[in-house]
Amino acid sequence: MSPCPVCGHELRADLLPWLFRCPGCGFERSSLGDRIANAAAREAIDESARAAALGSIRERNFRAILDALGRLRPQRGRLLDVGCAHGWFLRAAAADGWRALGIEPDERIAQVAREGGGEVRTGLFPAALAEGETFDAIAFNDVFEHLPDVDEALRSCKRALVPGGLLAINLPDARGPFYRAARALARAGLRSPLERLWQKEFPSPHLSYFTAPLLRRLLLKHGFSPVHGARLASVALRGLWSRLRYDRSSRHGVSYGVPGSLAVFAATCALLPALRILPPDISFEIFERSG
């Protein structure tokens, strides 16, 4: 296990066999591997249900991201969407005046994005880019936490951004109530919620968990200046049940099961009014490339 990318301390074993935590800053890392080529892992997700579950909240959050980018760069330029999935952000960015390109490692999902009108290359960042190709903005929407080497990714971002270019990152925040509750349950022996938040059985599980302050520390080390910070909505009533059930394993008792899904649904509905004043479950930061 490599040292903490934020502060350099050696990571230590944590609550689960594949989970590690930095004693210096609290950064968390998993040893879960990429499983995109694994057919069983791909079948764990009902992609139609996933699109129905996340479409509404993603549309709202992407609008907030593009509004922030537009305020910082009224003259739209070329934008790269890393891990563009079904192409929702690509289409929104193009409608907002950006010349948008997406990269997606899963060919099946990349084809869905192309059919929606997006320009998409199948592959990984930065390998899918041409030599010397640059952008005015790069976006990681729920993707940065899946990267195996965040330091190398940021070095690649710096090379791929024009001077003064913008790097937009939104990701799960370990300070949020859902993640903190899942850790507490794991300490008590109930591992499923924490495994689900790390997307343990998915084709591309989470490999890291940041907080917004830790993300800023990391980006400053790589020569990026923070220019905007906000929170994004993590859940909404619309699509919530589908969101709990698009993981096919949960339908057969491996994850939540129906009783567990009902309990999580009820607890989330009760918590919705308080989410705006609690620490964020999803943080959104924009950085400017210095120099």
Residue 70 is predicted with a pLDDT of 97
- The pair phi, psi for residue 171, each rounded to 5°, is -160, 165
Q: Per CATH, which fold does 36-174+206-235+281-289 belong to?
A: Rossmann fold (3.40.50)
Distance of CA 140 to the CA centre of its chain: 7
- 3-class secondary structure, 290: coil
Residue 217 is predicted with a pLDDT of 98
The residue assigned the tokens 């192309």 is 114
For the chain, strand residue ranges (E) read: 12-13, 19-21, 28-30, 78-82, 99-104, 120-122, 135-141, 161-172, 208-209, 224-232, 282-289
Residue 103 is predicted with a pLDDT of 97
Residue 252 is predicted with a pLDDT of 39
Whether 240 has a pLDDT exceeding 70, the answer reads: no
Q: What are 35-93's pLDDT values in tens digits?
A: 555 555 455 555 666 566 566 788 889 999 999 999 999 999 999 999 999 899 999 99
- Give the separation between CA 214 and CA 29, rounded to whole angstroms: 13
The residue assigned the tokens 């938040």 is 197
Q: What are 173-202's pLDDT values in tens digits?
A: 999 999 999 999 999 999 998 998 999 988
131-135, 242-246, 287-291, range with the lowest pLDDT: 242-246
Q: What are 141-172's pLDDT values in tens digits?
A: 999 999 999 999 999 999 999 999 999 999 99
DSSP string, 110-171: HHHHHHTT--EEES-TTTTSPTT--EEEEEEES-GGG-S-HHHHHHHHHHHEEEEEEEEEEE
Quote the tokens at residue 179.
């993640």
The domain limits of the chain are 36-174+206-235+281-289
Please name which of 101, 113, 104, 180 lies closest in space to residue 137, comparing C-alpha atoms: 101
- The pair phi, psi for residue 43, each rounded to 5°, is -75, -10
CA atoms within 13 A on the CB side of 161: 24
CA atoms within 13 A on the CB side of 145: 26
Residue 246 is predicted with a pLDDT of 54
Quote the tokens at residue 240.
């919530």
Local confidence band at 254 (pLDDT 50, 70, 90 cut-offs): very low
For residue 76, give Cα distances in angstroms to 96, 97, 130.
8, 6, 21
2-16, 27-41, 113-127, 209-223, range with the lowest pLDDT: 27-41
